[in-house]
């Protein structure tokens, strides 16, 4: 793989106008040259390349070390770009676009002719979204290209919510990073399959099932979210262990007192211990590293801080990590999906 001096271009997303911004223009030139660039979205940082170019897509997979059967999501800045990307737009998909774009919602649609087969992992469908971030939208617009963009991290690690996270993972592996500051939502987009009669959530995320159903009626959860699917995944985040810190992580469905018992057992073995806790419980734990990730009464704050906390464990001495669980309602469904993937399904019940 080609070695790069990875450029970092800082952009203030609060600027009155980003049109013609010199840093974004520089980044777009690399995109047009079939290189890959990390950029901020409202969810996490993405690693973008020309979605119509096999060469660019190969570089995304190489930089991340990503399995080749894991499809990518295509990011657009205007509805005009859907032409050639999607073969057609089902009525309920259009309803969701009207309600939630730009925003953290990816729609799986019948694939058009202009998408690289490497983007879709050979599937007849393609995931498309319009991010709600001024820097992302201007980069896509300036390049004039739809951008395939998975999270800008080494595959399997916690997703990046700052440019520094990207740099830690991908320094020397990519051409550059557009630094637009910390991201907002903190967990990736919700993915909805719109290619069959029943709309199906393939990955929970920043838009909740309840919000989707208010617009488009009944939506089902893919069975693979409950029972791991070993077939070819239709969406990122379905098949592989993701979002994991270096030390093994165990989810614990139990009281703080029970979690402390588990910590004490590992301490007795001489292990350095870590606990991922809600803000309300951090004072209850006596572990080597206790990291809060947000309030149990405001799950949006947990979503926002989750990946920061998981990455922070890599800076600690923790050799085993125990995590609290959260209610599977609203954005809590997305939080638990990410934690279950991060733990590789390992859960301890009191």
101 Cβ neighbours under 8 A, 6+ residues apart:
129, 130
Q: Are 217 and 95 in contact (CB under 8 A)?
A: no
43 among annotated binding-site residues: yes
Give the pLDDT score at 30.
97
Q: Is 151 annotated as a binding residue?
A: yes
242 annotated as belonging to a binding site for a ligand: no
| The architecture CATH gives domain 7-225 | Alpha-Beta Complex (3.90)
Write out the residue limits of the CATH 3.90.870.10 domain(s) in the chain. Answer: 7-225
- Count of beta carbons in the 10 Å neighbourhood of residue 32: 15
Q: What pLDDT score does 2 carry?
A: 77
The per-residue pLDDT for 244 is 87
Cβ-Cβ contacts under 8 Å for 22 (sequence gap 6 or more): none
Task: Give φ, ψ of 267 to 5 degrees.
Answer: -60, -40
Please tell me whether 70 is known to bind a ligand. yes
149 is in an annotated binding site: yes
- Distances 306 to 2, 161, 302, 335, 336 between C-alpha atoms, Å: 32, 10, 6, 8, 10
Q: How far apart are CA 220 and CA 222, in angstroms?
A: 6
What CATH number was assigned to the domain covering residues 249-349?
3.40.50.11030
Residue 75 labeled ligand binder: yes
Q: Read off the pTM.
A: 0.92
Among residues 39, 177, 38, 41, which one has the least CA distance to residue 104? 41
243 is in an annotated binding site: yes
* Residue 257 marked in a binding site: no
pLDDT tens, N- to C-terminus, the chain (350 residues) = 778 899 999 999 988 889 999 999 999 999 999 999 999 999 999 999 999 999 999 999 999 998 888 899 999 999 999 999 999 999 999 999 999 999 999 999 999 999 999 999 889 999 999 999 999 999 999 999 999 999 999 998 999 999 999 999 999 999 999 999 999 888 999 999 999 989 999 999 999 999 999 999 999 999 877 655 545 556 555 545 678 899 999 999 999 999 999 999 999 999 999 999 999 999 999 999 999 999 999 999 999 999 999 999 999 999 999 999 999 999 999 999 999 999 998 999 99
Task: State how far the Cα of 160 lies from the Cα of 146, in Å rounded to an integer.
Answer: 21
Q: Is 7 annotated as a binding residue?
A: no
Q: Give span(s): CATH 3.40.50.11030, the chain.
A: 249-349
């Amino acid at each position: 793989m080609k070695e790069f001096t990875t450029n970092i271009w800082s952009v203030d997303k609060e600027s009155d106008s980003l049109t013609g911004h010199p840093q974004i223009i520089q980044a777009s030139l690399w995109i047009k040259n079939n290189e890959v660039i990390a950029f901020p979205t409202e969810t996490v940082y993405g690693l973008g390349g020309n979605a119509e170019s096999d060469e660019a897509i190969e570089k995304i997979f190489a930089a991340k070390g990503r399995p080749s059967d894991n499809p990518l999501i295509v990011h657009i800045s205007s509805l005009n770009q859907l032409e050639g990307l999607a073969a057609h737009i089902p009525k309920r998909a259009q309803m969701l676009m009207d309600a939630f774009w730009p925003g953290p919602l990816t729609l799986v649609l019948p694939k058009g002719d202009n998408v690289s087969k490497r983007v879709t992992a050979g599937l007849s469908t393609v995931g498309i979204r319009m991010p709600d971030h001024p820097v992302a939208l201007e980069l896509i617009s300036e390049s004039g290209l739809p951008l395939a963009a998975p999270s800008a991290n080494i595959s399997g690690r916690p997703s990046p919510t700052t440019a520094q996270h990207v740099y830690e993972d991908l320094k020397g592996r990519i051409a550059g990073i557009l630094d637009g500051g910390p991201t907002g939502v903190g967990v990736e987009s919700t993915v909805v399959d719109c290619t069959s009669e029943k709309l199906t959530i393939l990955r929970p995320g920043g838009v909740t099932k309840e919000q989707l159903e208010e617009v488009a009626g009944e939506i089902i959860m893919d069975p693979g979210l409950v029972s791991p699917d070993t077939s070819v995944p239709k969406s990122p985040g379905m098949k592989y262990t993701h979002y994991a810190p270096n030390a093994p992580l165990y989810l614990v469905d139990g009281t703080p007192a029970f979690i402390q018992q588990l910590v004490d057992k590992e301490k007795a073995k001489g292990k350095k211990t870590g606990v991922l806790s809600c803000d309300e419980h951090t004072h209850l734990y006596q572990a080597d590293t206790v990291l809060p990730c947000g309030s149990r009464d405001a799950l949006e704050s947990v979503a926002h801080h989750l990946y920061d906390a998981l990455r922070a464990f890599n800076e600690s001495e923790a050799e085993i990590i125990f995590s609290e669980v959260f209610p599977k309602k609203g954005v809590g469904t997305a939080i638990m999906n990410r934690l279950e993937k991060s733990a590789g399904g390992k859960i301890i019940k009191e």
